[in-house]
Structure 1
Amino acid sequence: MILRPLILIALVATASIDAAPPPAAIHLNQLGFLPDTAKRAIVADPSTTPLRWTVRDTRGATVAAGETKVIGDDAASGDHVHLVDLGRLAAPSTYRLRVGRQTSRPFAVRAGLYAPLAAAALHYFYHTRAGIAIEPRYAGDPRWARPAGHAKEIAPCFSGTDERGTHWQGCDYRLDVTGGWYDAGDHGKYVVNGGIALWTLQNLYEREARAGRFPFADGRGTIPESGNGTDDLLDEARWEMRFLLAMQIPDGARATVPVGAPGSAGAPVFRTIDAGGMAHQKVADRHWTALPTRPVDDREDRLLYPPTTAATLNLAATAAQCARVWRTIDPRFSATCLAAARRAYAAAQREPQVYATNSFTGSGGYGDGDVSDEFYWAAAELYATTGEPTFAAAVRGSPWHAAPVQAPDWGHVGALGTITLATTAAVSASDAAPARRALIAAADGFLAEEARSGYRIPYATLDYPWGSNAVILNRAMILGVAQRLTGAARYRDGMVDAIDYVLGRNPLDQSYVSGFGARPLTHPHHRFWAHQLDAALPGPPPGVVSGGPNSTAMADPIAAAMQGTCAPQRCWADDIRAYALNEVAINWNAPLLWVASALDGPGARTQRRR
């Protein structure tokens, strides 16, 4: 996810979006429900008294009935809402819910409901690979096949003047950074943001492996590596890990970097540092490409942008995690990752205050003026992998150790370290216990918010930021960790409530995931999945999640036109121009994958205690 100037969309401002049927008054997950979890529907209705409801099966027989619970006015949606609890429906079948004169679409109750979604959410990462052709036999449909973008990417450092008039000296080397994942709707590749997405995939593998479950075992996916003897989830993660490793600066190299935190007054002052072991923040275009542009048609200069401490620590954390995951599967690759992690952590300690600047056109800033959470995360991963006292001491000395947990995002990664400390066997009991307590407390806080939310989701604020769907899905991931730590059903039910919202239980009656649900995402902000602008190009493949409603950063013309006119959960449009509302990104699809996979596994079966 990245911020873009308005000039990007100037040439497509007359594009129109496809007409869609009006939303229904009965809102529920458009895929249906698992037999053994919460099953809730929300009804938008002005009645201040309960409404009668019935559920009928395919034969027309009434199998459940009751009255709605009046929740009342909901500021986040602008609706007056009622809750329908369908928890008694456990028999696998197809049903319809009737409330007053309104009848819902058919919905299923069945096991294995989320397995196809998890598979598609993982396959998204294949579709967004750089440096390789997306072949018809793996794409799922010839429409999504494309030639390789940036097939041999040997990039120099940015040199010259940025958009603020600051002159950068560049460097005297080039790096082969072929591969990796395109970050979002453009062609940038970022170590910051790639880091959290990669961590989420690797953590999902660790979670499933601990339960003896391998839903993406070799051959179950559809990627070029299928059949190589390695879990397809790990194969996909390794594609990005290799890119992050390639972004590490060789020993002995020098770099010129600014002094001071982002936003410091006056012209920046530069100093030259020993940059060996640090990571470049990104490789990206010199200027923004237009919509639409296939990756192979990107003719912009591809440049390495300056190293940062945050990028270096993202590399240290994910490479340490990589070393742990691959230790018995591919010991040589594991050793490569661990060596890179140690070099990166040492480089970050040597240069702890090298920050990103949001001053380059053609790519996102991902600026972060506080990297204490990144230091904690990296130390936690190295501790969990090596057990070494130095890293354990760094964890214990961090202000993030046992601190309250917030849902992670690319700029707030403390929770990632806490999850690792709470769930990895190599961590001492004295370090794991406070991490577990903090995660369970955070999950309880999210459930408390759910009780205050009209649409009953674990998110009660009226501020819906850029990528709000990922905020909600990352909260669901914390709930999933708490469920695994405690066995309590309420946390899994909270995960269900979060994914219900993403899949249609929202005031727009919108499934924010392409290819899933009655009203799926169709027009994401993306340069190749751009059928809205060019009939020769495809729409998105299945399993791609939109960033979702955004009431806080009205950056594009579609969003700006809504400002002040929409309730927070309604500030969204299925329009390729709406990059502040409808972009897609690797760090948003990663928690969708994690949650969809976690909901279906045998390890997800819980004690039904509240």
Structure 2
Amino acid sequence: MKNLTIKRCAAVFAACTVIAAAMPYSRSSVIAAGNIISNSTFESGTSGWGTYKESGGKCSLGTEDGQLALTVSSVGKLNYAVQVFYDIVPLYQNGVYRLKYDIYSSVDRFIEGMIQQNGGTYQAYTWKGLQLTTEPQTVDYEFTMEAETDIMAKLVFNCGIQEKYEGELPEHTIFIDNVSLELIDDSNVDYASSRPYAPSININQVGYRTNGKKIAVFRDVTDQTEFKVVNADTKKAVFTGQLENKTDNKSANETNWTGDFSSVKDAGKYYISCEGLDDSYTFEIGDKVYSNLLDDSVRMLYLQRCGVKIEDNDFGHEACHTDMATVYGTNDKIDVSGGWHDAGDYGRYVVPAAKAVADLLYAYEADPDLYSDDIGIPESGNGTPDILDEARFELEWMMKMQAADGGAYHKVSCANFPAYVMPTKETAELIVTPVSSTATADFCASMALAAEFYEKYDKDFAKKCMDAADKSWAWLEANPNFVFKNPADIVTGEYGDKTDKDERYWAAVQMYRATGDEKYLSSVSRAVTGLDWSTVGDYGNIALITMKNADKSSETYKTAYDNAVSAVIKQAKSLLGTSEASPYGQDISMFNWGSNMTIANGGIILALAGEITGEQSYYDAAQAQLNYLLGVNPVGTCFVSGYGTVSPENPHHRPSMAVGHAMKGMLAGGVNQNLEDSAAKAYCQDQPAAKCYVDNSESYSTNEITIYWNSPLTYLLSLTENTDANEQQSTTTTTTTTSGATTTTTTAKITENDEISEDASLYGDANCDGSVDMGDAVLIMQSLANPNKYGVNGSDELHITSKGLANADVSDIGDGVTTGDAQAIQAFLLHTIDKLPR
């Protein structure tokens, strides 16, 4: 029987602060069994215990004679300037608890002992003032948890200054032992109230493009064999399909089936039903189903702007961080106002900024028609697509981060992370950290890329970008060794790196693309990969693969281009294998910090491989990554705030936390099996790897946002806009079956308006550049996969010509251009055949 009660409650649960899409189900029996404090007598050292210091507080933590020993060197300026704590103490509303511990100090003093909220208002659920002496005392009392359930509370001892009692103190040690916390009465506890709803049928909660591949993932199946797609308005089934591909999904600790309903193409709203299971969330099918999502993924960056007034009903604020910033280690002050706040805090960093800018510009290049001039930013209506306006705002800030010698300062932030406040409330001193080679190379690449894109809209700005790129390139040449230093007394995001080879590769290739000067390729011996902020080599590969004005007669270019193509295809094959092995289709097998970015990055590589080869499997896998991000995942969540039925409502994002609800259009970091924050440890400690995500504002390791997680989502949306064979291919298809194997050959379909030359000038030279190379095979595949762009009458500057078609027909002469021709050219280049045609 369907659990309709739970189904109706799902939306309510999704909105609760404590909800996690992966909360343990069997916690009560564990809690009731005994002591919640796992390391209570310190035989295991300090495991599970930690310290917090600020405002001048200084301390160290160890053990002595089997006791926890906190040595306080300075009590600081606040009562919590020194804390010792035990993290993750689950407290259930109406539960009766007994807290007990032994404690004393090497000097007489006053401290505070409490169990408190781990974030938010830091409210104390129980509190005791403790007057310590050199004689051990036992604290032993019961209390009832009167507040709402909080399974990630923590036991804390405030050992900072207590001016009311004693003021400054000499160095001393506080000893703690025999700590226990027990739930002694849970008769009035409602454990069910903390359990989330987990949908049995997972779909892309935003929707599917009309001609796209559509897959649903099922779990909790017993003996069901079929499913139905139901029109949400008429309640009538429009399609019946079979459950297929039963898979033991160890990463999610569940058994999955898939259901393919790609044949449903009529625009409308639908849901999927399967006997014995709750209906899926409602989703939409349509040609423009992602239009609003795409706009909001970019407009989110406007709401992250720094240094200017933001106009928005919910997230608007006056200009923030407008003070001059101090260059670290000097008395110099510079203006670095502008740019985007990088993440859930208010630091601004050149390295991730470069990735975000590259994603946006290449997203625009992939499909300019998707981007309008009216998404609701101040520049809307100025004649420039808003995505380029938004990228320019970041680029103009990056220019302020270039030092006089051409190097780029690594970042600007305050020394510490701010409280959970709006950006105008962070008023501490701004500090610019030293120049780094990674920031400089990324800066160089970004500026060279920008010079190309803004030439059409603002020649003066384009020249300014190129001049900045030249200056940074000169710095890189003068500083060949890796240079990076992050000051130890600044605790905001480091964005450190172990090597700058990938950044230098990207800069070299991007400078070549901008200038055509082969001197920049002289240092490029092989292709480098990566689309993360720390590994950016694939942006160099993208620059080569999508370059329109290259000198194709150049052997230097051909080598670099072939290496870039090979690098992308090699990655794509691996990603495809991983994606096809998973019922949810994700292209990763390990879930680390920022896994959603990694998945989006993989989708970009897969889509590029599809564009290079024309193979539909790559396109389908790229779409699968988008489906995962938007709901086809084990936690049943659309990871973009404000979209789908269940999406992040409590991101680790200070403006959202200050306002009280999530900013729309932000991609959360996603599943992280490493449990790297208190909320993740509390909610996900019993969960399998693929379900370690929690919609909690304290879960910075799973639920934070960043500009460079949003940007690959934007890029992926562009690349997957036209990735269906029915949309892209104007072809005839012949299928033959031999010994049980099916081979599909795609043949170019020539329209009556096409003028075809019957005479080939050089067999294999599809791009008519006077030689036969990998570029010819690529152009053939592109012309087959996307004839509107690369066909004889295609819109792209590099489309195949009628002479190119004649040259390309090297296999089965006279039967038209097919994928077999591209394969023959590749075989010829690999010396597995001796000549063309064959």
Interval of TM-score (by shorter of Structure 1 and Structure 2)? 0.7 to 0.9
Shift of the alpha carbon at 1:540?
2.2
> In structure 1, which of residues 107, 110, 113 is the aligned counterpart of residue 289 of structure 2?
113
2:570 is aligned with 1:411: no
User: Could you say which residue in structure 2 is the equivalent of 1:78?
Assistant: 253
Change in 2 beyond 3 A, CA 1:80/1:318: same
Are 1:278 and 2:399 matched, yes or no? no
Task: Provide the rounded CA distance (Å) in 1 between the counterparts of 2:271 and 2:703.
Answer: 30
Kept in 2: contact 1:115–1:600 (CA 8 A):
no
Q: Which residue of 1 aligns with 2:717?
A: 596
Structure 1 residues 351-410: Cα deviation after superposition (integer angstroms, max 9, x where no partner): 232113373434111110111001100001000100112112223x2x4x2x5x44x100
Partner of 1:270: none
Cα deviation for residue 227 of structure 1 reads 2.1
Query: Which residue identity lines up with residue 365 of structure 1 in the other structure?
Result: E
1:429-455 deviation digits (Å, cap 9, x = unpaired)? 413233223323322321111121132
Q: 1:327 to 1:19 in 2, by over 3 A?
A: farther
Choose 16-25 or 299-308, whichever is displaced more. 16-25
Residue 385 of structure 1 is matched in structure 2 by: 514
Tell me, yes or no, if the aligned pair for 1:50 and 1:67 is still in contact at 8 Å: no
Report the alpha carbon displacement of residue 40 of structure 1 after superposing the two structures with TM: 0.4
Distance 1:16 1:113 in 2: 39
- Shift, 1:20, TM fit: 8.2
**In structure 1, what is the Cα distance between the partners aligned to 2:722 and 2:242?**
33
Give the superposition deviation at 1:344.
0.9
**Pair 1:543 & 2:672 matched:** no
Which position in structure 1 is the counterpart of 2:502? 373
Give me the whole-angstrom Cα distance separating, in 2, the residues matched to 1:328 and 1:90: 38
Q: Could you tell me how far 1:111 is from its partner in structure 2?
A: 0.9
Task: Indicate which of 317, 328, 331 corresponds to 2:459.
Answer: 331
1:55 aligned partner: 229
Q: Which has the larger radius of gyration?
A: 2
Give a deviation string over 1:218-274, Cα, whole Å, max 9, x none. 3x2211111222221111000000111110101xxxxxxxxxxxxxxxxxxxxxxxx
For 1:495 and 1:298, locate their aligned partners in 2 and report how far apart those are by CA, in whole Å.
Answer: 40
| Alignment of 1:483 onto 2:610 | yes
Listed as ranges, the matches of 1:498-513 within 5 Å are 498-513=625-640
The two structures have a TM-score, normalised by structure 2, of 0.62
- Deviation for aligned residue 1:486: 3.4
Structure 1 position 95, deviation (Å): 2.4
Equivalent runs, 1:314-329 vs 2, <5 Å: 314-329=442-457
| Contact 1:464-1:568 within 8 A present in 2 as well | yes
Structure 1 segment 491-570 matched on structure 2, within 5 A: 491-530=618-657, 537-552=659-674, 554-562=675-683, 564-570=685-691
For the structure 1 residues 393 and 567, does the alpha-carbon distance in structure 2 shift closer, same or farther, using more than 3 Å as the test?
Answer: same
Select the structure with the greater relative contact order (CA < 8 A; seq sep ≥ 6). Answer: 1
Structure 1 position 172, deviation (Å): 4.9
Q: How does 1:97-136 map to 2 (within 5 A)?
A: 97-102=272-277, 103-135=279-311
**Native 8 Å contact 1:117 1:596 kept in 2:** no
Match of 1:33 in 2: 208
Amino acid at match of 1:63: V
Report Cα offsets for 1:464-511 as digits up to 9, x if no partner: 111100100111111222233334333232222111111111121111
Partner residue, 2:599: 472
The Cα offsets for residues 72-105 of structure 1, whole Å up to 9 and x where unpaired, read as: 2212211111111111212223222222222223
- Segments of structure 2 that go 5 or more residues without pairing to the other structure are 1-50, 55-116, 124-147, 151-192, 553-557, 734-743, 745-838
1:147 has 2:339 as partner = no
Aligned amino acid, residue 197 of structure 2: P
- How far did 1:595 drift? 1.7
> Do the aligned partners of residues 20 and 149 (structure 1) sit closer, same or farther apart at CA in structure 2, a change above 3 Å counting?
farther
Select the residue among 185, 198, 216 that pairs with 2:371: 216
Offset at residue 564 of structure 1 (A): 4.6
User: Which 10-residue stretch deviates more, 34-43 or 476-485?
Assistant: 476-485
Out of 409, 417, 424, which is 1:288 matched to?
Answer: 417
Partner Cα distance (2:660, 2:550) in 1: 47
State which of 181, 203, 223 in structure 1 corresponds to 2:362: 203
Alignment match of 1:157 (pick from 327, 339, 349): 327
Larger displacement relative to structure 2 (414-423 or 561-570)? 561-570
Moved more, 354-363 or 105-114: 354-363
- C-alpha RMSD over aligned residues: 2.4
What's the CA shift for 1:190? 0.2
Counterpart Cα distance in 2 of 1:89 and 1:128:
39
The letter for the 2-side match of 1:204 is A
Q: Within 2, Cα distance between the matches of 1:602 and 1:132?
A: 39
> Are residues 224 and 20 of structure 1, via their aligned partners in 2, closer, same or farther at CA, if it must alter by over 3 Å?
farther
Q: Check the 8 A contact 2:224/2:274 in 1, yes or no.
A: no
Checking the alignment, whether the CA contact within 8 Å between 1:525 and 1:579 is kept in structure 2 is yes
- Residues of 1 paired with 2:53 and 2:261: CA distance? 48
Query: 3-state DSSP class of the match of 2:456?
Result: coil
Out of 379, 383, 386, the residue aligned to residue 232 of structure 1 is 386
Instruction: Tell me the distance in 2 between the aligned counterparts of 1:497 and 1:338.
Output: 38
Greater mean alpha carbon deviation, residues 362-371 or residues 478-487: 478-487
Matched residue, 1:264 = none
In the alignment, structure 1 residue 302 sits paired with structure 2 residue 430: yes
Residue 287 of structure 1 aligns to which amino acid in structure 2?
N
- In the TM superposition, residue 562 of structure 1 has moved relative to its aligned partner by 4.8
Listed one character per residue, the Cα deviations across residues 310-364 of structure 1 (whole Å, up to 9, x for unaligned) are: 0111110100101111123211111111111111122122223211337343411
| Structure 2 CA distance for aligned equivalents of residues 201 and 441 of structure 1 | 24
Q: Contact 1:288 / 1:361 at 8 angstroms: preserved in 2?
A: no
How many Å separate the matches in 2 of 1:381 and 1:78? 44
Aligned mate of 2:561, from 432, 447, 460: 432
For the 8 Å contact 1:487–1:606, the answer to whether it is kept is no
Q: For the residues of structure 2 that align with 1:378 and 1:134, how far apart are their CA atoms?
A: 33
Letter in 2 for 1:332: D
User: Which residue of 2 is the match for residue 163 of structure 1?
Assistant: none
Contact 1:358–1:365 (CA under 8 A) maintained in structure 2: no
2-side partners of 1:503 and 1:539: how far apart? 20
Deviation string, structure 1 residues 130-149 (Cα, Å, up to 9, x no partner): 011111xxx3xx11212221
Sort the Cα spacing of 1:489 and 1:500 in 2 relative to 1 into closer, same or farther, 3 A: same
- The answer to whether the Cα contact below 8 Å between 2:641 and 2:665 also exists between their aligned partners in 1 is yes
Quick one: which amino acid aligns to residue 372 of structure 1?
K
* Residue matched to 1:178: 337
Partner of 2:180: none
> Aligned pairs, how many?
543
SS of structure 2 residue aligned to 1:144: coil
In the TM superposition, residue 46 of structure 1 has moved relative to its aligned partner by 5.1
Question: Per the alignment, do residues 300 and 27 of structure 1 end up closer, same or farther by CA in structure 2, a change over 3 Å counting?
Answer: same
- Structure with greater strand percent: 2
| Residue 243 (structure 2) aligns with | 68
Is 1:193 aligned to 2:359, yes or no?
no
Secondary structure at the counterpart of residue 310 of structure 2:
coil
Match of 1:89 in 2: 264
- Residues 104-128 of structure 1, C-alpha deviations (whole Å, 9 max, x = no match): 2332221101111000100010000
| Distance in 1, Cα, partners of 2:723 & 2:573 | 23
- Contact 1:383–1:427, Cα closer than 8 Å, also in 2: no
Contact 1:114-1:597 within 8 A present in 2 as well: no
Q: Are the aligned partners of 2:619 and 2:723 in contact in 1 as well (CA < 8 Å)? A: no
Question: Which is helix-richer, 1 or 2?
Answer: 1
Partners of 1:70 and 1:602 lie apart in 2 by 24
Could you say what secondary structure the match of 1:32 adopts? Answer: coil
Contact 2:684/2:693 (8 A) holds in 1: no
